[in-house]
Amino acid sequence: MVIDSIKNGIVIDHIKAGRGMTLLSYLEFDNEHDTVAIIMNASSARRGKKDIIKIENVKGTAVDMDVVGLIDPGATVNIIEDEVIKAKIRPTLPKRVENVIKCRNPRCVTASERGIRHEFVLNDAEKQQYRCVYCDEMVSMQEE
Amino acid sequence: MLKGKNLLEPMDLTVQELEELFATADDIIENPEKYAHCASGKLMGTLFYEPSTRTRLSFTAAMLRLGGEVMGFSEPASSSVSKGESIADTVKTVACLADMIVMRHPKEGAPRIAAEHSRVPVVNAGDGGHQHPTQTLADLMTIRKYKGRLDHLTVGLCGDLMFGRTVHSLIRALSRYENITLKLISPRELVLPEYVRTSVIEKNGMEYEEVRRMDDVLPQLDVLYMTRVQRERFFNEDDYIRLKDTYILDEAKMNLAGKDMIVLHPLPRVNEIAQEVDKDPRAHYFDQVQMGMYMRMALIVKLLGLEV
Ligand SMILES: [Zn+2]
């Protein structure tokens, strides 16, 4: 399958197969205006199979690196300008994330209180495990 | 320095800060008159989003005994909260009026939101099944007072170890002291959650043993911490009746224990401690209520930085 390379924009490569859609949903692009392509189960030398996301005509800052790191720290983000890779960024697991994931504990105050910041801190990097700062509920991003 | 701090969970306090509170509580017990007016002109706001008479009375008594004043609500129905005001707005308002805030809330983490929006110290007086730090202060003070130490102890924890938050907090607090051996006494259905065992007990290299019958370990214990076995935890009445009786402390069981063992219970009890045990000099669960008040007094003195 051939997908046109993009002239200007962002290519998120080496996404673990099956994680592309999840990552895309967290990245919150402008559905009406951005041109977005997702390729699933492409073959990869590094990961066997991988997903790829391409977004045309957006700046590098359009991608929240913390979100990429949270969903798949193994992905790479390529910034393309005039068909040239200007930058290749490897995300890292963020120490804390705000308003990206929500707490699943129904007894957590964030489930009922309006206008609240949803804040998680990294608890265990190996397990990609985050902890809700309010109720201490754990969430593993490997299973999200 | 404890002045201006919040107390949201027991581990917010360092061992040194705990020592500071114990020393202050000791001094309050020795010289109550010295502290009788030190909070004069200070106001405590008690925001109780669910009723808890016992805890509210203890905080109120603590503040009044220091010469301070208390205001607030004891259930949300009687306040602007029932009109749907956010925690943030209620707290911002009360922080303009009071010198400290004590909050009880059914939702886990609510006091953290309060702390984020308050310019005065916030004390968590219980947030659902999550944290209840001043109960842990009462437990530690009672052990320290009647055993003379918080290290080199064999502590039996008996009853519902799965859902009992006071037990989890106490284990966590004790994990910072040396040579603590735990005897975890519970039915199979109510054992300590795995995350407490691995992330607290094993991580800190605490010695522990899980047992089903109190009788097997009673002679070895320095401290026996009893908890309620709540009816609503069980699927059927038969299980409840079968299990609850196994974990009832009575005179016969007390005869198996050493003469220096102390018995604690966070109260209120249902029937897990027979009334006949109350007159036993080793029963300290009502002293525990008093120690709780002294620790709350010490906490107020330190958080407000009061001069004595
Ligand atoms: Zn939560």
**What whole-number distance in Å separates Cα of residue A88 and Cα of residue A129?**
26
Q: Are B205 and B174 in contact (CB under 8 A)?
A: no
Our CA-based measurement puts residue A46 at a distance from the nearest CA of chain B, in whole angstroms, of 35
A108 touches B at CB < 8 Å: yes
pLDDT in tens, B9-58: 999 999 999 999 999 999 999 999 999 999 999 999 999 999 999 999 99
Q: Answer yes or no: is pLDDT of A1 > 70.
A: no
A123 touches B at CB < 8 Å: no
> How would residue A110 be classed by pLDDT, with cut points 50, 70 and 90?
very high
Residue type, B187: P
Q: What is the pTM of this model?
A: 0.91
**What whole-number distance in Å separates Cα of residue B120 and Cα of residue B47?**
14
Measured between beta carbons, the chain B residues lying within 8 angstroms of A113 are: 86-87, 107, 110, 113
Task: Name the residue with higher pLDDT: B149 or B80.
Answer: B149
Instruction: For residue B130, report the distance from its CA to the centre of ligand 1, in Å.
Output: 10
Q: Retrieve residue B115's tokens.
A: 């702390």
Residue type, B130: H
A112 touches B at CB < 8 Å: yes
Worst-scoring range by mean pLDDT, A36-50, B52-66, B83-97, B119-133? A36-50
Q: Tell me if A113 and B110 make a contact (CB, 8 A cut-off).
A: yes
Q: Answer yes or no: is pLDDT of B299 > 80.
A: yes
Instruction: For residue A105, report the distance from its CA to the centre of ligand 1, in Å.
Output: 6
pLDDT mean over A16-28: 91
| Range A9-89 classified under CATH 3.30.70.140 | yes
Topology annotation, domain A96-140: SH3 type barrels. (2.30.30)
**What whole-number distance in Å separates Cα of residue A17 and Cα of residue A50?**
4
Which domains are present in chain B?
10-131+290-303 (3.40.50.1370), 133-285 (3.40.50.1370)
pLDDT of residue B82: 67
A interface test, pick of B108, B112, B196 with most A CB neighbours within 10 Å: B108
Q: What integer best gives the mean pLDDT of chain A?
A: 90
Q: Tell me if B113 and A116 make a contact (CB, 8 A cut-off).
A: yes
> How would residue B79 be classed by pLDDT, with cut points 50, 70 and 90?
low
ipTM: 0.89
Instruction: For residue A111, report the distance from its CA to the centre of ligand 1, in Å.
Output: 8
Worst-scoring range by mean pLDDT, A2-6, A72-76, A116-120, B84-88? A2-6
Instruction: For residue A2, report the distance from its CA to the centre of ligand 1, in Å.
Output: 44
pLDDT in tens, B224-264: 999 988 777 666 788 777 777 778 999 999 999 999 999 99
Q: List residues in chain B touching A: CB distance below 8 A.
A: 86-88, 105-110, 112-113, 127-130
Our CA-based measurement puts residue A142 at a distance from the nearest CA of chain B, in whole angstroms, of 19
pLDDT of residue B114: 98
pLDDT in tens, B160-212: 999 888 999 999 999 999 999 999 999 888 899 998 999 899 999 999 999 99
pLDDT in tens, B284-296: 999 999 999 999 9
pLDDT of residue B164: 87
**What whole-number distance in Å separates Cα of residue B102 and Cα of residue B121?**
9
pLDDT of residue B229: 80
pLDDT of residue B109: 97
B interface test, pick of A109, A121, A127 with most B CB neighbours within 10 Å: A109
Residue B249: CB partners within 8 Å, gap ≥ 6?
A: B158, B214, B224, B226, B263, B272, B273, B274, B277
Residue spans per domain, chain A: 9-89, 96-140
Q: Answer yes or no: is pLDDT of B87 > 80.
A: yes
Run of H or E residues at B97: helix B87-97
Across the A/B interface, how many CB contacts are shorter than 8 Å? Answer: 44
Run of H or E residues at B254: helix B251-254
**What whole-number distance in Å separates Cα of residue B289 and Cα of residue B139?**
9
Q: Are B76 and B82 in contact (CB under 8 A)?
A: yes
| A69: nearest Cα among A10, A16, A131 | A16
Which stretches does DSSP call E strand in B16-136? 43-48, 69-73, 100-105, 122-127
The dihedrals phi and psi of A74, each to the nearest 5 degrees, come to: -90, -5
pLDDT of residue A5: 77
Kindly give the interhelix angle for B133-147 and B285-303, rounded to the nearest 10 degrees: 120
Q: Count CB neighbours of B165 within 10 A.
A: 18
Instruction: For residue A135, report the distance from its CA to the centre of ligand 1, in Å.
Output: 4
Q: Answer yes or no: is pLDDT of B105 > 70.
A: yes
Residue with structure tokens 């608890």? A123
Worst-scoring range by mean pLDDT, A112-116, B69-73, B262-266? A112-116
Which stretches does DSSP call E strand in chain B? 43-48, 69-73, 100-105, 122-127, 153-158, 180-185, 207-211, 223-226, 262-264
**What whole-number distance in Å separates Cα of residue A105 and Cα of residue A107?**
5
Instruction: For residue B267, report the distance from its CA to the centre of ligand 1, in Å.
Output: 27
A110 touches B at CB < 8 Å: yes
